[in-house]
Structure 1
Amino acid sequence: MTREVKLNELTELLTDAEYPLEVETARSRFDDVELVYADGSEPLSDVLKRVESSTFESAEDAQTSIFNVVPVEGVGEPGQSEGEG
């Protein structure tokens, strides 16, 4: 069963892991997680393939690494404008 996790809920998911954590281990552990973006979704394991480091030292390190490879279009909230008026 797939777990859907919004980007703003990622911290909670990552704090449940033990660190340091190998990226390959994270891919296996979170292979059922679908990251929900503002404009769609993507399997977390696919996102982790784009991370350059091989080990996360902490949940914060993991989150930062993931946010650095998430598509820019996925970060905004649905219906959010670039500034009106």
Structure 2
Amino acid sequence: MELAELQEYLEQFDYPVASDELATACEGVAIQLAEGERDLGGLLAHASADRFESADDAYTAVQNDLPREAVGEPYQSEGEGD
């Protein structure tokens, strides 16, 4: 799944939800990043929160765990370039 699709994907779950429960439910879901793939369940398992109040909370936790270079070049959208 592309990173741009993550928010919509996370909205399918019922919130609030324990972070470990959501991580288990998302195991094996690959997120495609500029540097390669990462497992969504693994990203959620490393979140500092014990639970997520909303899909936005879970999305933010994933974003915070990604290195800057994982999402592409700074200040460029995915559509730019030759």
Q: TM-score, normalised by structure 2?
A: 0.82
1:14-46 deviation line (CA, Å, top 9, x unaligned): 000000011111111111201110120111122
Of 57, 62, 65, 1:69 maps to 65
Q: What secondary structure sits across from 1:19 in the alignment?
A: coil
How far apart, in 1, do the equivalents of 2:30 and 2:70 lie?
Answer: 13
- Write the letter of the residue equivalent to 1:10: L
Segments of structure 1 that go 5 or more residues without pairing to the other structure are 81-85
The corresponding residue for 1:46 is 42
Give structure 2 stretches of 5+ with no counterpart. 77-82
Letter in 2 for 1:59: A
Partner of 1:33: 29
CA–CA distance in structure 2, aligned partners of residues 18 and 73 of structure 1: 31
Question: Partner amino acid for 2:13?
Answer: A
Percent identity, aligned pairs only?
35
Normalized per residue, the structure richer in strand is: 1
CA RMSD of aligned residues (A): 1.3
| TM-score between the two structures when normalised by the length of structure 1 | 0.79
